[in-house]
A and B are shown apart, each in its own frame.
Chain A
Amino acid sequence: MMRNYESRLMRHAKNAFRGFIVAALASVAFASVAAAQGFKRPAPTPADWAALAKLPDFTGVWEVPMGGPGGGFMLPARPSLTPEYAAKAKALAANAGEDTSSANCLPPGMPGIMGEPYPMEFLLTPGQVTIVIEAFSMVRHIYTDGRPIPSDPDPTYFGTSIGHWEGDTLVVESVGFSDHTELAMRTPHSDKMRILEHFKLTDPNTMSIETTVTDPDALTAPYTSTRTLKRHRSWTIAEYICEDNNRNFVDKNGKAGINLTPPGTKATKP
């Protein structure tokens, strides 16, 4: 009788312990997701809002002027690739389509999206800098609330961006990029690619963005470029719905084309 009770108790305890182990393992397994999704930013206080006024004035709409040094239309120097990635880039170039998937309205990822010949707007709120990018109507979220850089984020076009202020410079580190993104034109990256950006005002209406890409698998040296943007106080960010009237395309064989059916004409089967 007593034995029975004891063994029942033991069984119960064992089950409970097993359950505890399962729960513990599960919580370890989900910890990384929790870290990414579960960081709880405290509600901003009046002091948090007031602190924003002490930061450099990034407000408004900025664009890289065309043509000049560091201008939007100037491509930065080529990255210095490892032999493995130089071979990959060469193979990509050899099989390159006549166009990229942006002809089909897919936006470029990081760092390319920051080099588009369209303006961007900076919004500073407690714990976050938001960049509204006109090209393809995109948004980057930079968390400045002290959350850690995720160790194993889901790969995305723009990665996960964590920032902090070093004096008057916003320093942003981004990790976790999808295979769609390119390190530079037709240059692939590994899952170890990290992008470090330094945003600062060089005069009241000029912003410098220094971008440094590191990737121990793909690069033999950090790949750095600097863009200079001008503020336009009279501008607003306009809508850019690429799918609205996109007549350009690249097909799955990499062939570029254009749809020349005039508006108001009934589509005819090719």
Chain B
Amino acid sequence: MKTTWKVAMLAAVLSAGLVAAARPAAAHHGFAVFDTTARKTITGTVKTFEWTNPHTWVWLDVPNDKGGVDTWGFEGMSPNFLGRRGWTRNSLKPGDKITVTYYALKDGSKGGVCISAKLSSGQELVMFGGNPADDN
């Protein structure tokens, strides 16, 4: 049941997703800098979660192959949009180990646009989640 919902949601993201890409594009910016043809994942530790307009930003510390740590930046939907779809400013906390699914920056910089974040509890928070409940 839950999986069906998730699959439906992801389908909505990816089909609506690219239609959607045009709309949030119109909302604030386009997707020219992102490679939306391939979804990638990366695991790390949350450094900060910026709950700000026009976009939230997940800053993730990721071990590199030189024994150090790189900070990656992932842009998300706005707090206005996410706040109506189950997210809060505390959804991701510094120190949380998470796996981010994202579209990478085309220029190879350490970042991209966040599609979803999977917590160590297994809970997956999606960025482009569907419509909020009817509250009338």
Contacts and interface: CB of A to CB of B under 8 A. Distances in A.
Interface string A217-247: 0000000000000111111001111101111
A258 interface: yes
Interface size bracket, B side? 35 or more
Of the candidates B12, B26, B75, B131, the one having the most CB atoms from chain A within 10 angstroms of its own CB is B26
Nearest to A250: B29
Contact of A117 (B12, B81, B83): B81
B135 interface: yes
A98 to B, nearest CB: 4
Nearest to B12: A67
Interface residues of A, number: 48
Contacts, number: 122
Contact of B54 (A73, A105, A264): A105
B110 A260 contact: yes
A48 to B, nearest CB: 29
A241 B53 contact: yes
A239 B84 CA distance: 13
Given A98-B32, A117-B81, A262-B71, A135 B53 contact: no
B32 A246 contact: no
B50 A245 contact: yes
Given A66-B16, A256-B33, A264-B48, A242 B22 contact: no
A142 to B, nearest CB: 23
A67 B134 CA distance: 16
Interface string B110-136: 110000000000000000001110111
A67 to B, nearest CB: 5
Interface of B: 12, 16, 19-20, 22-30, 32-33, 47-48, 50, 52-55, 57, 59, 71, 73, 75, 78-81, 83-84, 105, 109-111, 130-132, 134-136
23 contacts: A67-B12, A72-B23, A99-B25, A102-B27, A103-B30, A231-B136, A232-B132, A232-B136, A240-B53, A242-B53, A245-B53, A245-B55, A246-B55, A247-B57, A247-B73, A248-B29, A248-B54, A248-B55, A256-B32, A256-B33, A262-B47, A263-B48, A263-B57
